Amino acid sequence: MTIDLTQFHDAFFEESLEALDSMEAALLKLDVGAPDKELINTIFRVAHSIKGGSATFGFSEIASFTHSLETLLDELRAGAMQVTMPMSDLLLKSVDVMREMLRSVQSKQPLNSQRVSDLQFDLEMMIAQKNAAPAAVPAASAAPAAPAAVPAAEVAPASPAPAATAPAASVAGPTASAAVAAPSAQASGWTMSFRPYPQLFARGNDPLRMLRELAELGTLEVTTSLAGLPSFAELDPQTCHLAWDLRLTGAIEEPAIRQVFDWTEGDCDLTLARFGADPAASAPAPAQASAAPAASVAAAAPRAAPAPTAAAPTAVPAAAAAPAASAAPATPASGDSGSIRVSVEKIDELMNTVGELVITQAMLSQLGSQVEGPTAEKLRSGLAQLERNMRELQESVMRVRMLPINVVFSRFPRMVRDLAQRLGKQIELKLTGEQTELDKTVLEKIGDPLVHLVRNSVDHGIEMPAVRTAAGKPASGTVHLDACHRGGNIAVEVSDDGGGLDKDRILAKARDRGLVGPNDVLSDEQVYDLIFMPGFSTAEKTTDVSGRGVGMDVVRRNVKELGGKIELRSERGRGSRCIITLPLTLAIVDGQSVSVGSETYIVPLISIVESMQLKASAVSRLSGHGEVFSFRGYYLPIVRLYEVFGVEPRTKKLDEGLIVVAEGEGHQRIGLFVDELLGQQQVVIKSLETNYGNVQGVSGATILGDGSVALILDIPGLIRALNMRSAA
């Protein structure tokens, strides 16, 4: 019987990639010259836990690389090296490489090992250059192409304890870190009781790794309990039977220790007690003992040790014991036990079921309204209650899928920093509304468009410092990313205080390319719209940042696919703003139901400008454009829905039906001719493409309360079809 460790790989990759994000964020906050100790610790811990995890899973290349990185970070942590700009760049590149390595291992793709070894060489060179403190891990021995996955503690000079009788050993940290930690509190530290549950190994945890990490925090004394160890024949090699009592001396904060045991939550009993610095708090609170019976039941462990649960011993407030912690941002390292990871498929399934329920409920409500008799009133009040509950359920499930837009925003500080550096510009990135929540699917698809927009702002928008100063603006430009709720939608805005769009140049370029006739007069909006045309770029020369003209049309297409809209505003010399309006979710749409003959169609509310009754006299015919009507100074084409879908309408006379003015992309409007308006409702979108096939002018379908199917209209699609017909 062997354990398949691959089952833990996904969790490792996911957590490591997240940890890299936080490492990157910390690196970006790191000030050259006067770095924040806590930030360095955060960065170090990430490298450290990825190293441990990758060694456990046998990803030797990652382990080897992170080992070099960790060595450098350890020097920083110990104050033996200073943070410089090249180092900060190198560390950021290391994040990229680690991300690449994790992804390539995850997807089982070959690794760009040249890039990895180059960077590893750079890291080691940087350590070697410093080379002042002989106490450090000998970099030279690790440098000449030694990708062996030997973790730090194992190369470090060993100091084995000669204890012949007692099973206790004292372990000093392999680097100077233990000595650095010592002076502030000579004889203070932590005692720990670490009692793994039998399944600890099977969950991919290795106590050896944890003890090694602890030994790096300070001086570790280990006492092993072999009481639970069965005879050789009875031993299940994959079950943990050992337990440890540990004494860790040094000025160590509780989160640092908790972090070591991060991945073992629920797989062990862990009690921490401080000694030395705070005698009052040296014993675990008695209240903890009451939790013991439950813990031992859950453990089903063969040993009887009634250890408290892994919950934090509340009697030891970390901040009180560590004055330095007060300045640090309060980030409880292992305090996220209140959340669970759930796969997206499961949530989608749940969402789908709720969608079906909504349809059933609508059907029942409709039936209920037709029932007569003594019980009818009761039935209807029950149905009303059902409807309320359904709405709550639906909202709850939708909330589960919501993530703060920060997930997307967080990639920009790094990107803007790198781009600005490359272009020689000074740019400050301002992020606001990061906590605005958005459906996960929408969130995933909005990332790329935002990258294009931010790149555009950095490359085309913000001017070079000299140009800015000459124009009386501060040398440093600002790019602002903002998200907020607006109506039932989310508005995401990318703005900059750069030069703004050059209308004349855009127009000239468009005339050059024949996109606009030489004598056409265009409104501002129409000129800005040109930017969204495929292949359009006004950048003077193509850089690797932007200017290939593949950006903005892709942006608009992506936004449109999400059912959103994009708007551009600009003021010459003052900057430009790009506003993306997105629906909260892709699963449900606010719709207006309209009837055409016996059919019902849903027009998304976001597309509707207004509804009106036309007088026959307001309609005229234009050759090549069919029927048009005058709407606020513009002539809009009329689309008779019964013609599009081949339905027999109640009336074919325009003044007997209604016109719904709907707007597609780029302010293109049309008048939809329908029989009548039925009502507004939220409808659950069912994909036509998945269940049937793509139909032009239809974005999906939904099931109505009476069980009939209604098509959801795709206004931009209808406009496209109309344009093609009139062009033909």
Partner 1 sequence: MKKPKKAASRTARKSPRSAGGAAAGSDPGPASFALPIDCMVADAAALKESLAGLVGDSRPVTLDVAALQRIDTAAMQLLTAFVRERDRKGLRVEWQGSAPALSNAARLLGLTSELKLPA
The contact set with partner 1 (CB under 8 A) reads 1-5, 55-56, 58, 148-150, 153-156, 158-169, 171, 201-202, 206-209, 211-212, 215, 220, 222-224, 226, 229-233, 235, 237-238, 240-242, 244
Q: How far is the CB of 255 from partner 1 (least distance, A)?
A: 22
* SS3 (DSSP) at 483: strand
Residue closer to partner 1, measured from CB, 204 or 591: 204
CB of 11 to partner 1, least distance (A): 16
Minimum Å gap between C-beta 277 and partner 1 is 25
Alpha-carbon distance of 693 to 695, in angstroms, equals 6
CB 224 within 8 A of CB 193: no
Give the nearest distance from C-beta 251 to partner 1 in angstroms: 21
Instruction: Pick the closest to residue 448 from 487, 492, 488 (CA basis).
Output: 492
Tell the smallest beta-carbon distance from residue 232 to partner 1 (Å): 4
Q: How many residues does the chain have?
A: 728
In the complex, the smallest distance separating the C-beta of residue 55 from partner 1, rounded to whole angstroms, is 8
CB neighbourhood size of 8 (10 A): 18
Instruction: Report the residue number, 228 or 461, with the smaller CB distance to partner 1.
Output: 228
CA angle 717, 698, 616 (to 5 degrees): 70
Decide whether 171 or 662 has the Cβ nearer to partner 1: 171
Instruction: Give SS3 for 414.
Output: helix
Question: What are the φ/ψ torsions at residue 361 (nearest 5 degrees)?
Answer: -65, -40
Which of residues 79 and 230 has its CB atom nearest to partner 1 in the complex?
Answer: 230
Cα distances (angstroms) measured from residue 148 to each of 58, 136, 152: 11, 19, 11
Q: Give the nearer residue to partner 1 in terms of CB position, either 55 or 277.
A: 55
Nearer to partner 1, 80 or 242 (CB): 242
Q: Cβ closer to partner 1: 232 or 690?
A: 232
> What does the alpha-carbon distance between residue 372 and residue 32 come to, in Å, rounded to a whole number?
78
**Contacts with 564 (C-beta within 8 Å, 6 or more apart), sequence order:** 489, 580, 581, 582, 583
Query: Shortest approach of partner 1 to residue 562 CB, angstroms?
Result: 44
From the CB of 302, what's the least distance to partner 1, in Å? 14
Residue 239 or 406 having the CB closest to partner 1? 239
235 versus 466: smaller Cβ distance to partner 1: 235
**Least distance to partner 1 from the beta carbon of 203, Å?**
10
Residue type, 321: A
User: Directed axis angle between helix 85-106 and helix 60-77, to 10°?
Assistant: 160
Q: Is-contact 334 253, C-beta < 8 A?
A: no
User: Amino acid identity, residue 711?
Assistant: L
3-state secondary structure of 229: coil
Taking every pair of C-alpha atoms in the chain, what is the biggest distance, in angstroms?
108
CB of 275 to partner 1, least distance (A): 19
List the beta strands (DSSP E) in 537-656. 565-571, 575-583, 588-596, 599-604, 608-612, 619-622, 626-631, 634-640
CA distance 98 to 120: 11
Instruction: Give the nearer residue to partner 1 in terms of CB position, either 203 or 460.
Output: 203
Q: What share of the chain is helix, strand, coil (3-state, %, to 5)?
A: 45, 20, 35
